[in-house]
Amino acid sequence: MCGGCHETPRDGALAGAMKRRDFLRLGGAGLAGAALLGTAGGRVLGQAASSLFDEFESAAAEYGVPRGLLMAMGYVNTLWEMPPPEASDYEEAYIHGRGAYGIMQLLRNPSRDTLGRAASLTGLSVEELKTDRVANVRGGAAVLADIQGANRPAGLDGWQEAVAGYGDTELYAVEVYETLKSGASATISTGESLRLPPQDVEVPEIYLAGKADYRHASWHGAADNNFTRSDRGPKNVDIIVVHVAQGSYSATIGWFDTGRSNVSAHYVVSREGRVAQCVRNDDIAWHAGDWHYNRRSFGIEHAGYADEPKTARQYRSSARLAAYLSKRFGIPVDRQHIIGHRDVPGVNRTCPGRFDFSKYLRLIKQYRH
């Protein structure tokens, strides 16, 4: 184990974790000797100086869910960071406004309300669940346990359906179980280092219907009412718009497939460099916030957050995709034709955040030849 690094063991559901009754019995004196925060009503929220590892452990023990599973979900969601509520507040017809909150990405939008469900299950307020890390982790554990129901499998593989239900897509379960299988580690912005060792799990398989236009992409079609069918050709398209998703790969794809989101992009690129196509090249995705730009552009989403640097794999994979689109549709490789979402007139957004366009353009030119 690394110095100052919190590590979860290789095990099944709750090896070494406290049972719920023990968690409640220990109260203010037990958990690492930390003081406990309370609300005006006297409810315990969490530990004053607790680590994120402790927060995962405590929530897992209280609700009878695997600690490693909660950690894998948090890593897929936000790389164990706690984004501010405004990072993806719900905003109608805004491509990044999913209404997803905290490490556990509790949702509140017209299609889903796991945030409200967490409030009901925990007795915590919606505001606490949005803004307090301890509360957010606890809320996510409560929702996962509620989805699973009374049957609590001893092994991690028995939670696959509940995880898919939590993320509202089987692709989310794939991402979470890939993370469990490979393991994960990170030093988060608070300075804490966490490590999730590789687990002995099966990664779910999903059936993909349809073939993508881009041969290196998988087809994950957006809902029919989230884009406009068209027959665009090289004469009609001359711009690539770069976005940051303000969320994970699977969550972004799932949002485009949600009938009431009214948004989509042509492609989504994961942190690991995999590519999904959600809208056909000839059709018009609803991503730019401006109809004129939608009609003449491709939208490429990148998993992650505006203040999160893109990975080397993400840059390379996205640049290969952009090179393919540039070559096929005759799009010039310059900053007038390969732009950020913030460059669309009237948008007034920070998207795509920390994105190195000089590096990106160099890679596109390299891959075009």
Q: Residue 196 forms beta bridges with which residues?
A: 184
pLDDT at 37: 36
Mean predicted confidence (pLDDT) in 323-337: 98
> What confidence tier does 291 reach under pLDDT thresholds 50, 70, 90?
very high
pLDDT at 24: 30
Average pLDDT of every residue of the chain: 89
pLDDT at 240: 98
**With 0-12 CB in 10 A as exposed, 13-18 as middle and 19+ as buried, what is 21?**
exposed
Model confidence at 34: pLDDT above 80: no
What is the four-CA torsion angle of 318, 320, 323, 328, rounded to 10 degrees? Answer: -110
> What is the tens place of the pLDDT at every residue in 121-145?
999 999 999 999 999 999 999 999 9
pLDDT at 20: 32
Helices 249-256, 160-167: inter-axial angle, 10-degree rounding: 60
pLDDT at 347: 87
> What is the tens place of the pLDDT at every residue in 140-149?
999 999 999 9
pLDDT at 105: 98
Sign of CA dihedral 23, 26, 29, 35: positive
> What confidence tier does 110 reach under pLDDT thresholds 50, 70, 90?
very high
pLDDT at 4: 39
What is the spatial distance between Cα 365 and Cα 361, in angstroms, rounded to a whole number? 6
What is the spatial distance between Cα 34 and Cα 47, in angstroms, rounded to a whole number? 6
Q: How far is CA 5 from CA 16, 114, 121, 188, 337, in A?
A: 18, 31, 31, 11, 45
State both tokens at 57. Answer: 């452990």
Which of 192, 216, 213 lies closest to 50, judged by CA?
A: 192
Model confidence at 46: pLDDT above 50: no
State both tokens at 127. Answer: 């505001």
State both tokens at 74. Answer: 């948090």
Lowest-confidence pick of 76-80, 207-211, 247-251, 295-299: 207-211
Mean predicted confidence (pLDDT) in 309-333: 97
- 309 cis-preceded (ω within 30 degrees of 0): no
pLDDT at 271: 97
Please state, as a whole number, how many other Cβ atoms lie within 10 Å of the Cβ of residue 312.
10
Q: Which domains does the chain have, with CATH numbers?
A: 5-196 (1.10.530), 217-368 (3.40.80.10)
> What confidence tier does 349 reach under pLDDT thresholds 50, 70, 90?
confident
3-state secondary structure 154-217: CCHHHHHHHHHHHHCCHHHHHHHHHHHHHCEEEECCCCCEEEECCCCCCCCCCCCCCCCCCCCE
Mean predicted confidence (pLDDT) in 95-107: 97
* Residues 10/200, Cβ–Cβ less than 8 Å: yes
pTM value is 0.87
What is the spatial distance between Cα 7 and Cα 359, in angstroms, rounded to a whole number? 35
pLDDT at 333: 98
Proportion of the chain above pLDDT 70, given as a percent: 87
